[in-house]
Structure 1
Amino acid sequence: SRLLAKLKGVAVTAIGWNGWEVSEHGTGSTLIGTGQGALMELHVDEREKKERAFKHLYSVGEGREPISGVCMELNPERMVVIVATPTRFFVFVGRSSLEETFAAYASRKAHMPPVIELPGDPGCASEVHVAQSEGKFAWLAQPGVYRGELAQPSLSQGWTEADFVAKHELLPFPAEGRGGEWPLSLGVTRYHFLLLYRTKLVAINQVSKEVVQEVPLSGAAARGLVGSPLGLTEDVASETWFMFTTEALHEISIRKEDRDMWRIFLKADYEKAVSHCFTREQREKVHTQQAEAAFAAKDYMEAARLFARLDVPQPTFEQVALRFVEVGDPAALHEFLRQKLEAFASEDRAQATMVATWLTELQLDRINRALVDQLRDFLSEYKDVLDSATTSNLLASYGRLDELMHLAALLDDNETVIEHLMQRGEIIRALGVLRKPTIPRELIYKFAPALLEAAPGETVDAWIQAAPPHAGARPLRRAGRPRRVPCSGASLRGVCHPRARLR
């Protein structure tokens, strides 16, 4: 190591490295932030043992705040520079070198406005981290950790610097730290934020936003710690984090940090939860919860596929099948059985035979339903040109009584509908048809004896509730000889009811 002469007297507060240019021979184009808000370019060549370039590029905040973080995100098409102060977050975008990029901004009359601005003390700890491989950033500010994603909008169309920041939000510090001790530094691992305080190191899960571990850095529990904590830094090559103090450098041991991520993702992202499972039992728990969620959302086809994957004691095969029967979704039941049949091993022949037989029955029922639907659609479409008598005889000869009733209803042939309902013993439905306001009284009288004989109580109630109420005596008369009808208390109520009159 050696002192850089051109940095003498400069309060360097942040450094951004150009990962594409750093080598064993030099730093490449390095961006330096100062305590006066200036951005400087430095290029150190170790072969020549000197700084080849050191020039002022731009100033942010009119020198009111120090630059606390600098990161460069580069690709062949663009250069995106992230610059942070304790209270402001800037994005600079260019297509070529650092000098040309900032020259374009320096030529503007007005200062570049920040993309994000937060309240805070200019003297508070602040830094910014960018994970280029994941396209994410995290900014330590006084209100908390501001995090988000770096977007990639096209430069060929209209854009602003704000378009390069997406899905950003503020994650406040843990409640116990607010208004008291504030973080000194921030570390960002794959799944956690590390917050360094003077007395402790706190790990917060990035997904759940909960504190998962707290390591004391003071008192008897901090044995082995040398010096007072100052900050966190990462060895990018080995992905190892270190804590540096006033006297030493301590490695932070991070082991199996993805151990419980499957359980955390289970609350919102099942695909990620499965991808983070380590055991078959964990995967089965994810699939079970995913299947239950799909069933609760009435996405029965997806639930069928998911339940079919399960190989757990609960819920049982019979329980799952019964649930699809109860909700009346034969297609989902068919999908569940088919998937299960494909998953059966050769030694499960008896169960496979049972499921295959059930599937055959469902297939036949599906064919029957499809043909019935086609027939009913045909009758509905061509009812005006069909001869009602001929068509009714055809349907009756083939035993299609439901379709015959469907045709009668389409033609408003209430007499045929009532006759078939009576034949099938559906007296209540027949009475429902007779209660229509458009039903002629002669049709009521025609079926009255048979209705009284089959269901006297329901028939009398229907007459009483009719408007106007039907007479109780005339329906019992028929042309020719009177018919003998069983007399009961229920049938006599109609004769004695104060609203009924003899005609």
Structure 2
Amino acid sequence: MSLIDDFIENSNDALQPLYNGNTSSFLDTAGFEHADPVMLETGFVSAGLAKDETEIFSLDLVQFQFPAHLVAMSVSNEILVMALETNHILRIDLQQAHDVEDIEIPRKSEGKIYKIFFDPTGRHLLITTEQGENFYLFEKWKKAKVLSKFKGITIESVGWNRFNGSSSDTSTKKILIGSRNGLIFEAEIEPTDEFFKKEEKFCKQVYSLNRNVPITGLRIEQFPATTRKYLIVAATPTRLYQFIGNATPSKDDEVASMFESLFASYAINPVFQELPGDLNYSELQFYSQYQELQYQGAAKNFAWLTNPGIYHGSLVFGSQDIGDSVIDSAKLLPYPTTPNNDTTAAEIPLSIALTEFHFILLYKERVKAICQLNDQIVFDDVIPLVTGEEVRTMTVDNVKNTFWIYTDSSIFELIVSKEDRDVWKLYLEKQQFDTALQYCKNPAQRDKVLTTQAEHYFSQKRYLLSASYYAESTVPFEEIALKFVERDERDALKKYLLNKLDKLRRQDLTQKTMIATWLVEIYLSKINMLEDLAASSAGSDDISNFKAEQTVLEDEFKGFLEQYRTDLDKKTTYNLISSHGRTNELLCYASLIGDYEKVISHWIQEGNYKQALDVLSKQASVDTFYKFALVLMENAPSETNQAIRYLQYVVQQLKNTDPAIHNFLLTLYATQPTNDESALLQFLASEGREPHYNLDYALRLCSQNRRMQSCVHIYSNMGLYEEAVDLALKHNDLELARINADKPEDDDALRKKLWLKIARHVVEKKREIKTAMDYLQHCDLLKIEDILPFFPDFVHIDEFKVKFLLMLKLVVNY
């Protein structure tokens, strides 16, 4: 019977919940599903030891009936491999947990499996024996192959190369191998199906520690900013070595060493940290923030298990060169003491694992977790062992961030859930407020951090900083405002109010108005205070500082008014600014809220007509134009002419059609201190039959300013031809009257009526009968009998005899 058949037979009686491949837990709904247990032939089953979900750490036993004792185990990228003392390898894809592969190691010697090493991709497995025989197993192989070039090397550690090569490359790429006797080898293994071709491309010794000690840890890291520069970390039970330098791979020679030149720089003077002790083993673990295969980054932290304790710190990659160190903030954490009868002793762990915030320590009978932030034990649980069962070690899937403990006959998963849940509290205790905020999970936690931070700065009299954080907290407004008022910290109060105002909702109108008004008072008081200080410091060196500070504050206040003008009450704000005698600020506020009449009135009262005209030209209210145009025309004619030229350009060149602009330009034309109407008439004519100015306003304005010809033009444009003719005759402008009398071309009756008005005016008013007879030739609608009634009773016919006979002749001929 084969091993797998024996395994299946012994597993048939067990109820085995289905494992769906998520290695975060073998118990909850993300792992084993308890709803409907089903039979599985793999032997995986939860023993139900997981604790409450609120626990960060929980130990979960995975039932697996081993056909033989477990020697070594490794998990990588959700692939689990186990080495049994019978020289068999079991391989399980945790996403297809029902399929267990049984692979036998070639029995060419009596050597027992010592350790196995699994690369991060879960494709390459190295197997080493006590006698220095080594084997290689690729991801799809059903049989391991002997690595003849590795013969005699008992492997203690492997530094996998995660940076060189592509994800589709089946080769291991250049890797480093640490031996039992202090030697480091560089090798590359590439799986092949060719019978006579060896998998190992090359295997070459590149460094010797010159000490007969095991190299218990190896790590290859690439400098983020310089892809050719590498860091190699090697650990022994008492020393931690660092090698920094450029790697020099050869493109032409496949078997060329990549790291030999790097190690050569340390042949004489190696760089290491030594922690003496009599421990014959150690472990080196790293934590990287980005663990996915395609996004792997440089390691962030490290932990080294040594005899004195856990030597740990962070890795900082910069401009380091040969002989330098990348280790920063290194510390030695002694192991926690364990009560033993009447004494306490610090037991040395068997293995260590590193998470983002915790050290996980594995002992002979229990597992502990220590928080890195406060060195406190946060988890301590007994491993449920049977009699004679022996804990082996711990293995970590660094890609999926899962943690596994195994004995010679059991497997446990240490489930880590939400380990950053309480981190914000720990950073808060350490007064690392910004970091604490990053780990807050809800508004209540965030408010606690902000409040504590504000109180901390307040106690240190750093009031401005305190104000910023108080404004983001939910501490009552009145309480904080009173704190700053009692200490007369006006600047801090201003900052607090500004931040609070900025965070109020749009519908909080009353609160916004109240706070904004208070800020106006604070700004004005501070500006006046600085002005008084500058005045009292005349002749001293401080005067320039006071004036500069005042200028900055005035600019800030104007910016405040611009931003919050809609939240301020107009009347209250006017009164406040006026009471402090701040004219410039008053004018600024008036301009911001569109109260241009107040601004213009001020400049006119000051006699600054040019400034008044500038303000007038920037606003669009027609009534304001009308109100101030005459005053400005009288007092600033030259500036007004400049305005006319500018508005002409806007209307004619820019084709502006805004009625306010056209009305204002009309006003400027009509109010010019001259009797010449040519410019005004030209403007009116250019507007056409559909002018952009207001006709009623134009007629009223021209009439008030005695622009008769323009009034006639406007009457005509409005279709009021009779009024146009009457006005022209009233001013004895016969030519203008005649022009307008002919405009109603489609209304003969009206034309005749208008011409009769002209004829009557000529006869009755001017007594020019001859001229009246001439009009009979200009208008085909008039006949002599139409104008005869206008002649006086006693008139000499000699004055128009010739014209009269001519007219009679025309009538006879007709």
Q: Normalised by the size of structure 2, how large is the TM-score?
A: 0.43
> 1:35 aligned to 2:180?
yes
Shift, 1:113, TM fit: 3.2
User: Within 1, Cα distance between the matches of 2:338 and 2:324?
Assistant: 33
Q: Distance in 2 between matches of 1:91 and 1:292?
A: 44
Partner residue of 2:449? Answer: 286
| CA gap 1:318/1:134 in 2 versus in 1, 3 angstroms | farther
Answer yes or no: is the 8 Å Cα contact 1:186–1:232 preserved in 2.
yes
Residue 148 of structure 1 and its aligned partner are, at CA, apart by: 1.8
Contact 2:287 2:300 in 1 (8 A): yes
CA distance 1:92–1:372, shift in 2 (3 Å): same
Residue of 273, 287, 293 corresponding to 1:116: 273
Give the aligned partner of residue 382 of structure 2. 216
User: For structure 1, which segment, 352-361 or 35-44, has the greater mean C-alpha deviation from structure 2 after superposition?
Assistant: 352-361
Give 2:173's aligned amino acid: G
Q: Is the 8 A contact 2:358 2:370 kept in 1?
A: yes
The amino acid across from 1:57 in the alignment is V
**Offset of residue 39 of structure 1:** 0.5
Q: 1:31 to 1:97 in 2, by over 3 A?
A: farther
1:344 equivalenced with 2:504 (yes/no) = yes
Separation in 2 of the partners of 1:375 and 1:57?
79
- 8 Å contact from structure 1 (residues 115, 162) kept in 2: no
Q: Does 1:6 align with 2:149?
A: yes
3-state SS of 1:20 partner: coil
SS of 1:161's equivalent? Answer: coil
Contact 1:153-1:163 within 8 A present in 2 as well: no
1:265 match: secondary structure: helix
Q: How does 1:339-488 map to 2 (within 5 A)?
A: 339-378=499-538
Q: 1:25 corresponds to which letter in structure 2?
A: T
Letter in 1 for 2:349: P
The answer for unaligned runs of 5 or more in structure 1 is 384-503
- Whichever residue aligns with residue 91 of structure 1, its letter is Q
Structure 2 CA distance for partners of 1:346 and 1:109, relative to 1, 3 Å: closer
What stretches of structure 2 of length at least 5 have no aligned partner? 1-136, 138-143, 250-256, 289-296, 544-814
2:390 alignment counterpart: 228
Match of 1:243 in 2: 405
Query: Does 31-40 or 113-122 show the bigger shift?
Result: 113-122
Q: Distance in 2 between matches of 1:146 and 1:344?
A: 50
2:426 is matched with which residue? Answer: 264
In structure 2, what is the Cα distance between the partners aligned to 1:225 and 1:357? 79
Match of 1:138 in 2: 303
C-alpha deviation, 1:224, in angstroms = 9.2
Equivalent residue, structure 2, for 1:438: none
More displaced 10-residue stretch of structure 1: 353-362 or 223-232: 223-232
Give me the whole-angstrom Cα distance separating, in 2, the residues matched to 1:193 and 1:364. Answer: 58
Contact 1:84 1:128 in 2 (8 A): no
Deviation, 1:377, is 1.1
Native 8 Å contact 2:468 2:499 kept in 1: yes
Partner of 2:612: none
Match of 1:129? 286
d(CA) in 1 for partners of 2:171 and 2:540? 84
What do residues 440-477 of structure 1 show as CA deviations (whole Å, max 9, x unaligned)?
xxxxxxxxxxxxxxxxxxxxxxxxxxxxxxxxxxxxxx
1:202-213 aligned within 5 A: 202-213=368-379
Does residue 81 of the first structure (1) align with residue 232 of the second (2)? yes
CA RMSD, Structure 1 to Structure 2 (Å):
2.7
Q: 2:189 aligns with which of 44, 57, 78?
A: 44
Q: Is the 8 A contact 2:468 2:496 kept in 1?
A: yes
325 and 113 in structure 1: CA distance in 2 versus 1, 3 angstrom threshold: same
Asked if the contact 1:27/1:45 (under 8 Å) is kept, the reply is: yes
Secondary structure at 1:282 match in 2: helix
What is the SS of the residue equivalent to 2:418? coil
Quote the Cα distance in structure 1 between the aligned partners of 2:307 and 2:479. Answer: 54
In the TM superposition, what is the alpha-carbon distance from 1:93 to its structure 2 partner?
A: 1.7
Do the aligned partners of 2:158 and 2:217 also contact (CA within 8 Å) in 1? yes
Q: What secondary structure is seen at the aligned counterpart in 2 of 1:357?
A: helix
Q: Is the contact between residue 135 and residue 149 of structure 1 (CA under 8 Å) also seen in structure 2?
A: yes
SS in 2 for 1:253: strand
1:66 to 214, 218, 221: 214
Aligned CA distance change for structure 1 residues 30 and 172 (closer, same or farther; 3 Å) = same
After superposition, residues 144-155 of structure 1 pair within 5 angstroms as: 144-154=309-319
Verify: 1:170 aligned to 2:332, yes or no: yes
Give the counterpart letter for 1:275 in structure 2: Q
Which residue identity is paired with 1:297?
Q
Aligned counterpart, 1:17? 160
Determine the structure 2 residue equivalent to 1:102.
260
User: Taking CA–CA contacts closer than 8 Å with sequence separation of 6 or more, which of the two structures ends up with the larger relative contact order?
Assistant: 2
Equivalents in 2 of 1:146, 1:207: separation in Å?
15
User: What is the deviation of 1:21?
Assistant: 4.3
Q: Aligned pair 1:276/2:439, yes or no?
A: yes
1:239-267 CA-to-partner distances (Å, cap 9, x unmatched) read 21212322344322111111101111112
- 1:57 equivalent among 203, 206, 210: 206
User: 3-state SS of the aligned residue for 1:378?
Assistant: coil
Distance 1:377 1:294 in 2: 33
Q: CA deviation at 1:338?
A: 1.9
Deviation of 1:41 (Å): 1.7
> Is 2:488 the counterpart of 1:325?
no
CA pair 106-122 structure 1, distance change in 2 beyond 3 A:
farther
1:106–1:309 distance in 2 versus 1, CA, 3 Å: closer
Cα 1:227–1:342 shift into 2, 3 Å:
same
Q: 1:121 to 1:305 in 2, by over 3 A?
A: same
Offset at residue 293 of structure 1 (A): 0.8
- 1:238, distance to aligned residue in structure 2 (A): 1.4
Distance 1:291 1:57 in 2: 57
Q: CA deviation at 1:304?
A: 0.9
Instruction: State the alpha-carbon separation in 2 of the partners of residues 300 and 382 from structure 1.
Output: 24
Within 5 Å, which residues of 2 pair with 1:487-498?
none
SS in structure 1 opposite 2:522?
A: helix
What is the one-letter code of the residue matched to 1:14? S
Contact 2:365 2:385 in 1 (8 A): no
Quick one: distance in 2 between partners of 1:102 and 1:341?
Answer: 64
Contact 1:203 1:211 in 2 (8 A): yes
SS of aligned partner of 1:167? strand
Alpha-carbon distance in structure 1 between the residues aligned to 2:387 and 2:490: 67
Q: Secondary structure at the match of 1:284?
A: helix
Q: Which residue of structure 1 lines up, in the alignment, with residue 244 of structure 2?
A: 93
Shift of 1:97: 4.3
Distance 1:288 1:236 in 2: 38
CA contact (8 A) 1:71 1:130 kept: no
| C-alpha distance after superposition, 1:164-197 (max 9, x if no partner) | 2222111221133884521111101121111111
What is the CA–CA distance in structure 2 between the aligned matches of 1:382 and 1:184, rounded to whole Å?
Answer: 70
Distance in 1, Cα, partners of 2:203 & 2:440: 50
What amino acid does structure 1 have at the position aligned with 2:260?
Answer: F
Q: In structure 2, what is the Cα distance between the partners aligned to 1:327 and 1:226?
A: 72
**Using a 3 Å threshold, how does the CA distance of structure 1 residues 68 and 382 change in structure 2: closer, same or farther?**
closer
- Matched to 1:78, the amino acid is K
Q: Is the 8 A contact 1:127 1:141 kept in 2?
A: no
Shift of 1:371: 1.0
CA shift digits 1:400-436 (9 cap, x unpaired): xxxxxxxxxxxxxxxxxxxxxxxxxxxxxxxxxxxxx
Give the length in aligned residue pairs. 371
Tell me, in whole angstroms, the C-alpha distance in 1 between the residues paired with 2:374 and 2:519. Answer: 44
Q: CA deviation at 1:380?
A: 5.2
Q: Report deviation, 1:162.
A: 3.4
